[in-house]
């Protein structure tokens, strides 16, 4: 480094998840204890950077928050400062590039580097700021576990715990009433939560976006179980799953958001379709439960606390060594880094990809193992 780093900033964007506070804590403690930096945190994602809303980050600021889900810096998943929604002189909303305002705020605070924690949308803006000369380090965050270039993101394992707990609870009522219980989980276009949660939660069928399903094959599994004496069944269904002859189930469209499509209702759709086929034969009732935002919140588990600590500390090490424009990553349980340009710009893939996301390989080991123990995917 030609100049000593003296002051850094932190920003969290996108959806919340467990482990963000642990990462913030790790960044602040490493910055202060190891490198004697000053640290500030912008409030509310990129909107806070634009509005210059921030707090001083000290060891006291991050004390007692290690276990807490969410983020003390608050999040926003709608604020792209390169296309920001503001009112013009006539009171009408327009989109405008206000990134120079954010950069001016960083310069006014004499920020030498900013660590940005987020998923694909947040990291895309991080890349764009890096292109304009800002010293940026990215930290990947999402419960969906779909960020390319890294083996796992924090928040994922805690979300899995919530899913497995829900499936365990549904088992008892499914057994008691001889019902088919369906749990719809998050993940958007990636099936990691559904796949690993379904396997760990003893689901009989798993429906993921990467494997379009034939509802008749799912129905056959349920009927076969019923006829063999297992008069209940458990299904784990991704919000992004779809039938082979259909499309994803859209709950609503959110104008002004970088990702306008909100998925939801896939579990209920499967329940209604199975009711038409299975119920006349077995007499079973179908019940669908949407786990929703419970997956994101609560107390961060041990794994994610440690993973977040590793991510946060390594991000500060990259700052100290001047490795800007990179995202921290973990591969084969070793910390490393990858250019943000490759993560969000070139469609880098993990197992397989859709629009540059890390998706489940339908022929991979996890799916093969699940099928080997009798779980069906409807393909």
Contact between residue 190 and residue 359 where contact means Cβ atoms under 8 Å apart: yes
C-alpha–C-alpha distance, residues 200 and 83, integer Å? 42
Given a cut of 60, whether residue 353 has pLDDT beyond it is: no
> Which tokens hold the place of 141?
């965050």
pLDDT in tens, 308-320: 999 999 999 999 9
> Which tokens hold the place of 94?
């327009």
Residues annotated as catalytic (active site), given as ranges: 144
C-alpha–C-alpha distance, residues 334 and 69, integer Å? 25
| Residue whose token pair is 């379009």 | 212
219 contact partners, CB below 8 Å, separation of at least 6: 274, 277, 278
pLDDT in tens, 32-61: 999 999 999 999 999 999 999 999 999 999
Query: Domains, the chain, ranges and CATH?
Result: 7-154+300-345 (3.40.50.450), 158-296+361-372 (3.40.50.460)
Q: Write the CA distances from 86 to 15, 19, 50, 302, integer angstroms.
A: 22, 32, 12, 41
Three-state secondary structure call for residue 113: strand
> Which tokens hold the place of 167?
């499936």
pLDDT on residue 172: 94
| Residue whose token pair is 């056959």 | 220
Q: Of 233, 194, 190, nearest to 355 (Cα)?
A: 190
Given a cut of 50, whether residue 347 has pLDDT beyond it is: no
Q: Write the CA distances from 208 to 69, 266, 350, integer angstroms.
A: 26, 10, 17
pLDDT confidence tier of residue 349, bands split at 50, 70 and 90? very low
């Amino acid at each position: 480094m030609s100049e000593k780093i003296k002051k850094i900033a932190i920003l969290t964007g996108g959806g919340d998840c467990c482990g963000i506070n642990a990462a913030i804590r790790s960044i602040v403690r490493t910055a202060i204890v190891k490198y004697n930096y000053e640290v500030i945190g912008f409030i509310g994602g990129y909107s806070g950077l634009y509005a210059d809303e921030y707090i001083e980050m000290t060891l006291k600021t991050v004390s007692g928050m290690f276990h807490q889900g969410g983020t003390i810096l608050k999040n926003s998943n709608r604020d792209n400062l390169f296309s920001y929604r503001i009112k013009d002189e006539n009171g009408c909303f327009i989109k405008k590039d206000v990134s120079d305002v954010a950069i001016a705020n960083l310069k006014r605070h004499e920020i030498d580097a900013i660590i940005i924690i987020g998923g694909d949308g947040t990291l895309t803006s991080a890349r764009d700021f890096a292109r304009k000369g800002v010293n940026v380090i990215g930290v990947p965050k999402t419960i969906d576990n779909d960020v390319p270039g890294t083996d796992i993101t924090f928040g994922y394992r805690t979300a899995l715990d919530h899913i497995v707990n829900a499936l365990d609870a549904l088992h008892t009522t499914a057994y008691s009433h001889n019902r088919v219980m369906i749990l719809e989980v998050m993940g958007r276009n990636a099936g990691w939560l559904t796949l690993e949660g379904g396997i760990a939660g003893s689901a009989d069928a798993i429906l993921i976006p990467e494997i379009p399903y034939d509802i008749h094959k799912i129905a056959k599994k349920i009927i076969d179980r019923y006829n063999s004496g297992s008069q209940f069944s458990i299904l784990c269904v991704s919000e992004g799953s779809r039938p082979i002859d259909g499309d994803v189930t859209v709950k609503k469209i959110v104008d002004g958001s970088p990702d306008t499509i909100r998925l939801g209702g896939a579990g209920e759709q499967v329940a209604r379709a199975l009711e038409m086929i299975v119920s006349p034969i077995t007499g079973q009732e179908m019940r669908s439960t949407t786990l929703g935002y419970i997956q994101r919140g609560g107390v961060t588990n041990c794994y994610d606390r440690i993973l977040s600590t590793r991510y946060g500390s390594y991000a500060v090490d990259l700052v100290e060594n001047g490795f800007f424009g990179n995202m921290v990553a973990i591969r084969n349980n070793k910390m490393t880094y990858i250019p943000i340009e490759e993560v969000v710009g070139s469609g880098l893939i993990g197992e397989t990809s859709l629009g540059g996301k890390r998706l489940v390989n339908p022929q991979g080991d996890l799916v093969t193992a699940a099928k080997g123990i009798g779980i069906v995917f409807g393909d």
